[in-house]
């Protein structure tokens, strides 16, 4: 039997590395749903756990749903379109979360506009929404025509597109910068 000397520091650092890697893995594949975390001084906070990830490869776009959520896909194949809620994870910095006004579409000719009045990827909460045409559903993979998300973006939720609920209302209006 060979004894190996390992310092306390190495054990702690190695353990923390293993724990942090385990947490990342578990958040992807094991954690479920969302939690409301309340704090007295700072208001209410939420923890969201992804249900899947966007996969963009070789010109195809797939929504890979984690195995534990596979049963939630039952009946989705009856719909032609889905609304996908995902997280703008590449913009998740304190600086970008504090940007409250932008020139829509990055065009300085468009008026300075609040982020709640446009689809800017910088916002206080980085929740994104895309309407996607479903091309196929096989096991836990939904193939869609396109999505405005990066490869690896975490999917928060998927909802079926229901025309009677999601259709444009009569009398809608948009600002002039969006009409072109």
Q: Quick one: tokens of 60?
A: 């195809």
Across 136-154, b (16+ Cβ under 10 Å) vs e yields ebeebebbbeebbbeeebb
As a whole number of angstroms, the distance between CA 14 and CA 29 comes to: 22
Q: Which of 37-51, 86-100, 107-121, 145-159 has the lowest mean pLDDT?
A: 37-51
Measured distance CA(91)–CA(102) in Å, rounded: 14
Whether residue 36 is contained in a domain is answered as yes
Question: DSSP state, 153?
Answer: P
Domain count, the chain: 1
Q: Which domain holds residue 38?
A: 9-49
At a CB cut-off of 8 Å and minimum separation 6, what does 176 contact?
A: none
CA distance 104 to 110: 6
pLDDT at 20 over 70: no
Sign (positive/negative) of CA torsion 114, 119, 122, 127?
Answer: positive
Q: How far apart are CA 34 and CA 27, in angstroms?
A: 11
pLDDT of residue 2: 37
Residue 108 resides in a domain: no
Domain assignment of residue 45, yes or no: yes
Classify residue 34: in a domain, yes or no. Answer: yes
Residue 13 lies inside a defined structural domain of this protein: yes
The verdict on residue 142 lying in a domain is: no
- CA torsion angle 63 125 49 36 (round to 10): -150
Instruction: Kindly indicate the confidence band of residue 44, based on its pLDDT and cuts at 50, 70 and 90.
Output: confident
From the centroid of its chain, how far is CA 97? 15
Q: Decide if 61 is inside a domain.
A: no
- Average of per-residue pLDDT across 94-106: 91
Look at residue 175 in the predicted model and tell me its pLDDT: 87
- Helical ranges in the chain per DSSP H: 8-29, 94-97, 163-166, 176-179
Question: Tokens 């390992």 correspond to what residue?
Answer: 6
Per-residue pLDDT at 159 exceeds 50: yes
């Amino acid at each position: 039997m060979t004894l190996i000397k390992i310092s306390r520091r190495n054990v702690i650092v190695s353990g923390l590395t293993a724990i942090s890697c385990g947490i990342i893995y578990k958040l992807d594949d094991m954690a479920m749903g969302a939690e409301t975390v309340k704090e007295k001084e700072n208001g209410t906070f939420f923890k969201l756990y992804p249900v899947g990830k966007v996969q963009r490869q070789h010109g195809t776009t797939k929504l890979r749903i984690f195995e534990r959520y596979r049963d939630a896909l039952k009946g989705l194949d009856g719909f032609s379109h889905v609304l996908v809620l995902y997280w703008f994870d590449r913009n998740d910095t304190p600086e970008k979360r504090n940007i409250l006004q932008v020139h829509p579409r990055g065009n300085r000719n468009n008026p300075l506009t609040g982020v709640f009045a446009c689809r800017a990827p910088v916002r206080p909460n980085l929740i994104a929404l895309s309407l996607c045409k479903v091309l196929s559903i096989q096991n836990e993979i939904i193939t869609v025509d396109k999505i405005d998300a990066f490869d690896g973006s975490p999917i928060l939720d998927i909802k079926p597109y229901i025309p009677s609920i999601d259709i444009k209302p009569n009398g809608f209006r948009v600002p002039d910068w969006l009409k072109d």
